[in-house]
Amino acid sequence: MAAIVRLLTVVLALSLFGCGPKTGTSLDPIAPQTAVVGVELGVMLRAASGGHVDFAFESDLDLSQRSLRPTLTPYANGEAMFRWTPLASDLGDHLFHFTATVDGVPASEMVAVRVVPGDSPISFRSPVGEGTTLDLARAPCAVVPLLVDDTSATEVDIAADGTLPNGATITRDGPLSGELRFCPAKTLAQTQTIYPFTIVATDAGGAHTEKRYTVVLGILAPPVVSPSPTPNPDPNPSPNPMPSPTCDSAAPAIQTTPHGDITTVGNPHIYAQISDPHGIYNAVVFWSTDPPIDPANPDLFAMNAVDMQLLSGTSQDGQWGATIPSPVIDEPAGTSATIYYVIGTTDDDDAVAGCQYHATFSPTSGVYSFVIKRAN
């Protein structure tokens, strides 16, 4: 209503200046328009005249304080192009009053323009990727710098969408920047390894943007004894069932000498001779400085996992090795710790479809252990 009152005032003012409505000139009707914030709106005005036409417009907008003003470009055939790029502050309904004057005779059209939000002016510039990995054996935290670009505001709030897991914080360290820090406790790391974060940046104008970022803990899951998916009972068995495969029934074999106590400034290395007729799919050393709660059945998920590498030989019969990061490497000389470990391996039976994999652990029950002492 206020806009209409202002416009009526304008029309009255136009009349007082001698350009008031008279008959004899016409301006083609203009349909209501929808404009998008930040996107130029173009409206063609067409007067029914072959002669010289003067165009003018008025609106409920206060143009006195803005630099990006609407423009009106007249053309010789009685047409004019009105162009306007609305700002975020223009959201909502507006009225424009256009006037075409021919030989002193004006005609006018009132046009309603609804301004709707467009593309968000705000976006994340860092991180640009989708995620990162965190190996807790190497670093306690993932630290991800956050940087926001906002064309319509000078500062933003940065926060998490939802509850952060324990050990995670999002802090702002500048008007448009911040940091995601995730330092998961070992107990948390044992519950899951994929941590998707949704980080939200919001400015005072209400514009907001989201960034999905995933921190993946580098602990590898232990090999699984029975990797085949468990099929549901099939009520409609296939008329062409798969041929019965000839599966390898042999499990891989591990030969290893348990690591003895050691005094060193470096890291301990674990070696094993591993063999299987169809080759090895993977071999892993699970280790911890905490003794297993159940000494006979250690919880491998509660232990750190390090991939073993094939050092010599073949996948069917080869020497494998892995390096355990010393828990006392940064401690004073003489500091010691006990390392408990298990070697696990899975064979590779993909050559025959549908066969189960086999896993072997060494020792077959319990754990090996040795004491590592920091040398001078």
Partner 1 sequence: MRRAALVLLALVGGCSSAQLPGLDDGLAPPRLDELHPALVLPSSRIDLVGTSFADPERATTRLVLRGTFTPANGTAQAFTATLAATQVDDTHAYAVAAGRDWALPPGAGRFEGTAVAQSISALDGSVRESPVQSVAFDCADTLEPQVTSLTAGAGGNLHVNDPVVLSGDGFLLGTGEGETRVVVNGVEVAAHPLADAPWDRTRVAFPFVPAIAGIKPGAFSGTVVVRNVFAASADKAGGSLPLAVTIVKPEITGVAPTAASLGQYVDVAGGGFVGEASDEVTLLHLVGSFAPDGGGRTAPVDLMLVPHFAAGNQLRYVLDEADALGRLIDLRRVSGKFTGQVTPIARKGADEVAGATANATLAIAPVKQVIYVRFLPSYLDSLRLYGLANAEALVRARILTVAARDYAGINVEFRDKPPTDFALYSQVDVEGPDPNALGLLGYDNTPGKDVGNQRLFDRIGGVNATTQSDGYPGYGGIFAENFMGFSAHPSSRVAKLDVDPTHFDAIFDAVRPDTGTPVSAAEVRAGIPALSDTGACLGARDRATRVGCAVFVLGNLVGTTLTHEAGHSLGLADPTGEAFHDAGDGINRLMDAGGDRPFDERAELLGQGPAVFCGDEYIYLRTVLPGSNASQGDSIARPDCN
Q: Which of residues 331-360 bind partner 1 (CB under 8 A)?
A: 350, 353-354, 356-357
Among 44, 116, 311, 351, binds partner 1 (CB under 8 A): 44
Among 2, 187, 229, 293, binds partner 1 (CB under 8 A): 229
Contact status: 206 vs partner 1 (CB under 8 A): no
- Residue pair 272/281 in contact (Cβ under 8 Å)? The answer is no
326: CB partners within 8 A, 6+ apart: 264, 266, 267, 268, 372, 374
Contact status: 256 vs partner 1 (CB under 8 A): no
How far apart, in whole angstroms, are the C-alpha atoms of residue 220 and residue 329?
23
Q: How far is the CB of 218 from partner 1 (least distance, A)?
A: 6
Q: How far is the CB of 323 from partner 1 (least distance, A)?
A: 11
Classified as helix, coil or strand, 18 is helix
Among 35, 47, 57, 270, binds partner 1 (CB under 8 A): 57
Contact status: 237 vs partner 1 (CB under 8 A): yes
Contacts to partner 1 from residues 18-37, by CB under 8 A: 19
Say how far residue 256 (Cα) sits from the centre of its chain: 43
Contact status: 50 vs partner 1 (CB under 8 A): no
How far apart, in whole angstroms, are the C-alpha atoms of residue 18 and residue 104?
8
Indicate the residue among 23 and 238 with the shorter CB distance to partner 1: 238
Pairing of strands 336-347, 359-362: antiparallel
Q: How far is the CB of 336 from partner 1 (least distance, A)?
A: 28
How far apart, in whole angstroms, are the C-alpha atoms of residue 170 and residue 181?
6
Q: How far is the CB of 152 from partner 1 (least distance, A)?
A: 5
How far apart, in whole angstroms, are the C-alpha atoms of residue 142 and residue 136?
9
Contact status: 301 vs partner 1 (CB under 8 A): yes
Among 48, 81, 91, 225, binds partner 1 (CB under 8 A): 81
| Cross-sheet strand order for the sheet of 168-174 | 122-126, 142-150, 177-182, 168-174
Among 22, 24, 34, 73, binds partner 1 (CB under 8 A): 73
Contact status: 127 vs partner 1 (CB under 8 A): yes
